[in-house]
Amino acid sequence: MTSRVCFNPLDCAGSAESVWGTPTSSIDWCERNYAHSTWVAEPWNTASNLAFVVPGLVGMAWSWKLEKRFTAIFLIIVLIGIGSMAFHATLLYAAQLGDELPMIWGALGWTYVVYDDGGRTLALLLIIAACLEAAWHVRARPTTAFQVLFAALAVSVLPRTRRNFRNCTDDVARTLCRRYVACGIVGLVAWLLDNSFCFERVHLHAVWHLFMGANVYYGITFGAYARTQHLGCSPRIEWWAGCLPVVSLENPVNASPKKAS
């Protein structure tokens, strides 16, 4: 097999037959399809999505004292992980939608988390944008345009993130922000190398998953710290299982001196 990212998954098929039938996804990655199992097309790319699911569940469990926006964004991260696992396991277009649509929803939700200060206008605009994008996505089956849109949304939050970083006085929280940016850069480099050179034995798309899972978790956690600090909640960073940072509050946000949204 020629190693490359394929826009026709049939060109990248391994020797094993799939229990899921003929691939229908609009794109395939470099890992050899069904080389080890008829159930999982890309085992490394599938398993690496636990980097979204597990931290996302931890974030949801610890977000009950925060605004509901943080529970929602952590839930979307879990959905991204589950959808991406289904996509890489089956190479079906329906599963691909289960990966790509939550990615856009998550990026739009993250834009809301970072920029909203309590009004409803931004939330309404982003909901409309999410609905329009979903309709276009299902109809047009975009690949490059989807990737450009996702990248643009990811970059759009950096100015406000920079401001939050400058206003933050907690060294641990500032370190989380640095890790958020660093993991995003490393993940992007892995993704670009995978697309450019397609090393079959070096699973760079799985590396992308691992670093982007860390990127979104560090970013949301820092965002939660910055938001609750802005609301006067006196947040602090604690560590779940000694490895995952979480934002801890003495009282729920609704009991804080400033009004939450």
**Residue 209 among known ligand-binding residues:** yes
The 3-state DSSP class for residue 246 equals: strand
- Left if phi > 0, otherwise alpha if psi is -120 to 50, otherwise beta: which for 123? alpha
The 3-state DSSP class for residue 89 equals: helix
**Residue 45 among known ligand-binding residues:** no
**Residue 33 among known ligand-binding residues:** yes
**Residue 230 among known ligand-binding residues:** no
Alpha carbons 118 and 244: distance in angstroms, whole number? 28
* CB of 224 closer than 8 Å to CB of 70: yes
What does each C-alpha distance from 84 to 44, 76, 87, 153, 212 come to in angstroms?
12, 12, 5, 19, 13
**Residue 99 among known ligand-binding residues:** no
* CB of 232 closer than 8 Å to CB of 257: yes
DSSP character at residue 247 = E
Annotated binding-site positions for Ca(2+): 28-29, 31, 33, 42
Annotated binding-site positions for Zn(2+): 88, 205, 209
Annotated binding-site positions: 28-29, 31, 33, 42, 88, 205, 209
